[in-house]
Amino acid sequence: MDWWAHLVSLWLAVPLSARLIVLFVVGAIVGGQLNRAIYRWTWVPKFYDPWTKPLPEAPPRSLFDKVPVFGWLGLARESKLHGTAHWVQPFLVELGCGFFFAWYYQFVIAGNLLPLAINVVPSEAALHSIYLQHMVLVCLMVIATFIDFDSRTIPDLVTVPGFVLALLLCGLLPFVGLPIPDGHPFFALAGPGEEVPMIPLNAAILESWPESFQSGAALAVGLFVSFAWWFAICPKLIWLKGGVRKFFRYFVASFYRYSLNVQYLGLLAVVLAFVTAAYFLGGTAVWQAVFTALLGMAFAGLLIWLVRFFASLAMGQEAMGFGDVTLMCMIGAYIGWQPVMVIFFLAPFIACVFAVINYLLTGDAYLAYGPYLCIGTLLTMIFWARIWQQYGPLLQLGPWLPAIFLALPVVLGLMLVTWGWIKYTFIYRDES
């Protein structure tokens, strides 16, 4: 992408210290808009941010209130209306975004994302492409995290445009999220004088891009998973208490009423048209990025959906919101299917730590899982070089590895259901 390389060269003409200052300011400004989205898109909108019309009884607001970070120091005067220290969270979000935009930029361009096997410095355009895509994902995860903490929901306003934007970025800057060595053994370092360049994470991973991924069958798979994603996000009523006949009657009627409209059918047409255009017009690099993003979305979404389904079956109630599924669909589109397996293990451990702390402090046992999926994703991105070096060899299992991961929630769910049956049959019945 010559246009991107040209923009990056102009940006690199600016001294590094000045670039970091600019990125801090941009991050703080973006953080202000993230706060705006958090408070407007939450289940019960709040009137905290300076871009929203204040409550009638609030003191008059000034132009200074809209200044990133510092404006919240002035908005502390509204604590009597919104609660003590209501301004602390948005203040930290904007300040944190400023620092993270600058720190992560230096982290990426210094090559800290690259596994040790890579000893050829990637192009500056490639590194800046990684940085831009990661920042888009981080911004979306910030919104999802704080809304989920506040209202225990993750709105489609975050995850649906986030997924579409991931596909668009694949078309403009064909690089999916994280770097790997090009054709080098995962468990070895480069030898003396051996050059090992970087390639984007892709769906094939253990071989050069296979011909089968350029076939019409691959296009059919891409269109199918795109349609499946669309069908999953469409509003519909699932009613399980009235028998099969009532289930289908409610399902069809609700799908026809709420999903077959200009908004949802237009979204489907745009996504399918983009995937088709990427295959026929985008060239190998663009199709490779788009197809990898689609498979990442499908694998991540299916994995979390299986966890949700079997955990709900075992508990007899909804164990995880569908927003967590759409969130992982979005994340998988940005980083590919391989890192999703790391997130799958990290998120529960992180969630358990926070759940115990929260229960001890508040007595609330409810767990919003979306934020911990986001934290697991961020840790996977930051420590990707070490993770790849340690666990990359596992990918030599080929297609068996994702199959094993998809089987894990099924096996766990069956174990929980069996244990529940044993308790009901042999323990509770004996006690009664």
Whether the per-residue pLDDT at 183 is higher than 70: the answer is no
Whether the per-residue pLDDT at 36 is higher than 90: the answer is yes
Q: Tell me the residue range of the domain where 275 lies.
A: 111-431
Whether the per-residue pLDDT at 198 is higher than 70: the answer is no
- What is the per-residue DSSP string for 204-271? S-SSS--GGGGSHHHHHHHHHHHHHHHHHHS------SSHHHHHHHHHHHHHHHHTSSHHHHHHHHHH
Query: What pLDDT shows up at residue 184?
Result: 42
At 51-99, the pLDDT tens digits run 888 888 888 888 999 999 999 999 999 988 888 889 999 999 999 999 9
Residue 278, in any domain of the structure: yes
Query: What pLDDT shows up at residue 56?
Result: 87
Whether the per-residue pLDDT at 208 is higher than 90: the answer is no
Number of domains in the chain: 1
Angle CA 295–301–307, to nearest 5:
135
Residue 377, in any domain of the structure: yes
At 299-314, the pLDDT tens digits run 999 999 988 887 777 6
Residue 199 bridge partners (DSSP): 180
At 119-148, the pLDDT tens digits run 566 788 888 999 999 999 999 999 999 999
- Which of 53-57, 176-180, 228-232 reaches the highest mean pLDDT? 228-232
* 432 against 133, higher pLDDT: 133
Buried b (16+ CB within 10 A) or exposed e, 60-93: ebeeebebbbebbebbeebeeebeeebbebbbeb
Rounded CA gap, 208 and 187, in Å? 18
pTM of the model: 0.90
At 358-386, the pLDDT tens digits run 778 777 767 788 999 999 999 999 998 88
Residue 4, in any domain of the structure: no
pLDDT band, very low/low/confident/very high, at 211 (cuts 50, 70, 90): confident
Q: What is the DSSP letter of 64?
A: G
Query: What pLDDT shows up at residue 178?
Result: 78
Residue 99, in any domain of the structure: no
Strands (E), 53-188: 179-181
Residue 229, in any domain of the structure: yes
Query: What pLDDT shows up at residue 181?
Result: 63
Residue 105, in any domain of the structure: no
* Pair of tokens at residue 115: 């596994």
Query: What pLDDT shows up at residue 176?
Result: 67
Rounded CA gap, 61 and 43, in Å? 25
Residue 40, in any domain of the structure: no
* 398 against 129, higher pLDDT: 129
Whether the per-residue pLDDT at 193 is higher than 50: the answer is no
Rounded CA gap, 115 and 388, in Å? 6
Q: Above pLDDT 70, what percent of the chain?
A: 84
**What is the average pLDDT across 254-260?**
91
* 318 against 287, higher pLDDT: 287
Rounded CA gap, 376 and 332, in Å? 13
* 190 against 43, higher pLDDT: 43
Residue 253, in any domain of the structure: yes
